[in-house]
Chains A and B, each alone.
Chain A
Amino acid sequence: MEQKPQNSQIEIAVFGNGFGESVIIHAGDNDWIIIDSCTNSDGEPVALDYLKRKGVAYSDVKLLVATHWHDDHIKGISKIFDECHNAKFVCSGALQTRDFLTVTHAYGSNTGKTNTLLKEFYSITQTMRARGFTKSQKCKTPTWACANRPIWTRKSKNTLLNCEVIALYPSDEAITSAHLEIGQLIPTEGMTRRSFPPKKTNDYCVVLLIKIGECSFLLGSDLQESDCKHKGWSIILSDETIELGESCFFKVPHHGSLNAHHDDIWEKVLTKDPLCILTPFSNGKNPIPTSEDIERVCSFSSQSFIAKSNATHIKTKMDKISAEFIKSSTKSFRKCSKAVGCVLVKGDLGLKNYNVTLHEGAMPLCTKAS
């Protein structure tokens, strides 16, 4: 069994498998935070597997955050919710609407093998309903993340162990426009049934600032910059009511893509040469990060790591007939690797001293660029 961190140690594990990411943080004092979920090759949430291997009780998970509803961020999260009874479940304030529940039932109650977009949220609502039936005190209502809202706090005699988790986004504007969009997704009588269409933008995902003692961690989820000045990174950076400080750790948003970049993040709210981690997205038509993305991130930080290389492709073994048909019917065809890479950071409170270990295909980002 792997070693549990000591109460005075911080640990950050960023998992990525090319189609999913999960961040598990030990915030000291045996309090654990899980942000998003992906699954391993056995189909199990990597977060639960990780905690089990370390001998951590699921009851020590204090926060479970679903930053948004894309299935590369929430696959398996309903199982984590079922197991981690003491965890506060946090999701975007954009989902606090009756219409979202209607849409969840319409599209999430009956899905096939592949389209699991709302299935996880449907499962979570089912669990919450069951707790509501039994009048259980355990989490049966989400905690809604919105701009500048503290969502979890821990006070300690040792001030280095004081912890505060603050949501920086979604903004009011993002929530309002999300409510309108979700309303338009409700199917009506006579409409042809379709699977839930994957949303392209990430207008209302949850961005978190985690302060542990003197150190801050900025977790950017998949937030992309927007044309609207009241959405995206611009609104976070221009909001004078939020004390952003300078973070020494940055989970780079949206797999390092250009549309999630904002110069002011690097220049105003991060320390010089911060520790950066990103996860790849290689299960779409255009894998990210691209080589230009890598070069850009590395220009801001030499301490950058990626949870798994984008270059990991497996040759597909198949009978000759199928291979011939695939060759003539498709422009491209590649097998997805389900192996999950991990960048693990362990350090003291304040992260003044830390070390980074790379597992299962994780690698330094800047070595790739050179």
Chain B
Amino acid sequence: MDTILCAEVKTDTSLPAASREGLVTPPDFIDGLPSDMWESILNINEQHSHIESARGSEGIGQQQDKVRPQHTFVLGGKRSPLNRFISLQKWEGVVLEIDEECFSARLSNFKKQDDEEICEIYLSEISDEDKNLVTPGAVFYWSIGYHTDMGGQRKRSSIIRFRRLGIWTTHDEKQANDFADETIKLTGWV
């Protein structure tokens, strides 16, 4: 079954070779299917194989009964192979300084743990909803890769998304204050 789901991807030469290899098995998609749905897929494909082999020499008018298993798409399940993002590069960044045109940031590369880069990113690259999060010390994630939308269209994509840490709660305040009081008691800090 893995072969059937992946045949189309493996022959898609528009993707870089490295990415194609990385798509050999979409494990999250397979694992997300209910087992009875998975069994029904296996049964359908077995039936189709049987039909194909039985009618292999039929004339043109009867070939409409033939279904090729390699084009079987599984709909539903917990996750879809569509609307997914394949990352080529991913960084976590922290904002250093901001000026009118861009902000400077230090980037830490997810794929190469020891690599760090310094860059100045144009503010125009940031979505409107994230713009007020661009402050010194703010953390963001920058991913570059391929995005496949629900219609199956694939395009190159660069996404910068700022980390949303929620809001400070009473519990957070209490935790921080308790930590301070206990530290003073244990260490004589103040």
Contact = CB atoms under 8 A, between A and B. Distances in A.
Interface of A: 19, 41, 43, 96-99, 101-103, 105-106, 109, 112-115, 117, 125, 128-129, 131-133, 140-142, 186-198, 283-285, 316, 318-319, 321-322, 325-326, 329-336, 338
A186 to B, nearest CB: 8
A285 B137 CA distance: 14
- If over half of A's interface residues share one DSSP class (helix, strand or loop), that class is named, otherwise mixed; here it is loop
Nearest to A117: B137
Nearest to A18: B118
Contacts of B165: 192-195
A319 B16 contact: yes
Contacts of A189: 167-170, 172-173
A189 B179 CA distance: 17
9 contacts: A101-B184, A102-B180, A133-B186, A191-B168, A195-B165, A197-B136, A198-B137, A322-B89, A330-B120
A195 B167 contact: no
Given A331-B122, A334-B117, A334-B118, A128 B168 contact: no
A187 B168 contact: yes
A141 to B, nearest CB: 5
A329 B81 CA distance: 28
B187 A105 contact: no
B156 to A, nearest CB: 6
A29 B141 CA distance: 50
B172 to A, nearest CB: 7
B158 A329 contact: yes
Interface stretch (B5-13, B51-59, B60-68, B94-102): B94-102
Interface string B168-183: 1110110111011111
A330 B119 contact: yes
Nearest to A318: B89
Given A129-B183, A325-B158, A319 B89 contact: yes
B82 to A, nearest CB: 20
A338 to B, nearest CB: 6
A332 B99 CA distance: 14
B15 to A, nearest CB: 11
Nearest to A197: B137
Contacts of A333: 117-120
A105 B136 contact: no
A330 B122 contact: yes
B128 interface: no
Nearest to A284: B96
B180 A101 contact: yes
A109 B168 CA distance: 14
A307 to B, nearest CB: 18
Nearest to B146: A321
A322 B183 contact: no
Max chain A Cβ within 10 angstroms of own Cβ: one of B138, B144, B181, B189: B189
Contacts of A142: 189
A93 to B, nearest CB: 11
Given A284-B97, A335-B115, A114 B139 contact: yes
Contacts of A325: 144, 156, 158
